[in-house]
Amino acid sequence: METKLQLIFTLCTLISITVFRVVGGSVQLEINGSVSEFDEFTWIFNESVSVLKYYKKYKDVTLSPRYKHRVEFNMETCSLILKNLQKTDSGLYKVKASNALQTTILCVHRLSVSDPVEAPVLTLSNSADPCNSTLTCRGHDLSVSSMCSYRTCEEKEVTSPGGVALSLSVRDSTIICNHSNPVSWKQENITFTHLFAHTGTHTHTHTVV
């Protein structure tokens, strides 16, 4: 029994899909199985933290104090809505379901909660030579630099392991820097006309708040 449970736990971890949410947001987690087959359900976070216990026969729901005021539970479907998400809610959620004959794990999802990205900042250097200027876009710990002239800019993109990306692209006559992560994006843009309007002056910084 122990070994079989262990195996199911491992399988769940392998096949789980990651759900991305922003800090303060909410998520609905569904069970993967039939509610009618079981008598008792326990939502478990990160293998060991009990979120909620449900005894179907008595319609008895016991909520862990850690989750007070931010959980909604549906007795029909056994789905769990977690509200006011914090980064510490990131991890694996699953349900242990049992009846008189067996205890099994109904696989669920991995949750990843992150802050929205900061707005990127565009900076032009070497603007003395409009035929050869460098436009740099920074966002948190990423940055991209492109060679730009009156009409063109190299398009570039960098990504970091957490799914954070920073890209410089040109659309119509606008240079767009896009800072994104799996839950949000913010852009900063500048037109070529604007960019080279101050040719000869010092470094030009343009920020939209």
User: Residue numbers of the site for ligand NAG (CB under 6 A)?
Assistant: 15, 17, 32, 46, 88, 90-92, 107, 126, 132, 171, 174, 176, 178, 180, 185, 187, 189, 208
- Work out how close the CB of 59 gets to ligand NAG at its nearest, in angstroms, rounded to a whole number: 26
- Work out how close the CB of 195 gets to ligand NAG at its nearest, in angstroms, rounded to a whole number: 13
Q: Which is nearer to ligand NAG, 54 or 178 (CB)?
A: 178
Q: Which is nearer to ligand NAG, 82 or 107 (CB)?
A: 107
Q: Are 137 and 166 in contact (CB under 8 A)?
A: yes
Q: Which is nearer to ligand NAG, 60 or 87 (CB)?
A: 87
- How many Å is the Cα radius of gyration of the chain? 25
Q: Are 163 and 157 in contact (CB under 8 A)?
A: no
Q: Which is nearer to ligand NAG, 17 or 100 (CB)?
A: 17
Q: Which is nearer to ligand NAG, 107 or 135 (CB)?
A: 107
Q: Which is nearer to ligand NAG, 17 or 101 (CB)?
A: 17
- Work out how close the CB of 180 gets to ligand NAG at its nearest, in angstroms, rounded to a whole number: 4
- Work out how close the CB of 92 gets to ligand NAG at its nearest, in angstroms, rounded to a whole number: 5
Residues in the chain: 209
- Work out how close the CB of 75 gets to ligand NAG at its nearest, in angstroms, rounded to a whole number: 21
- Work out how close the CB of 168 gets to ligand NAG at its nearest, in angstroms, rounded to a whole number: 11
Three-state SS sequence of the chain: CHHHHHHHHHHHHHHCCEEEEECCCCEEECCCCCHHHCCEEEEEECCCEEEEEEECCCCEEEECHHHCCCEEECCCCCCEEECCCCHHHCEEEEEEEECCCCEEEECCCEEEEECCCCCCEEEEECCCCCCCEEEEEEECCEEEEEEECCCCECCEEEEECCCEEEEEEEECCEEEEEEEECCEEEEEEEEHHHHCCCCCCCCEEECCC
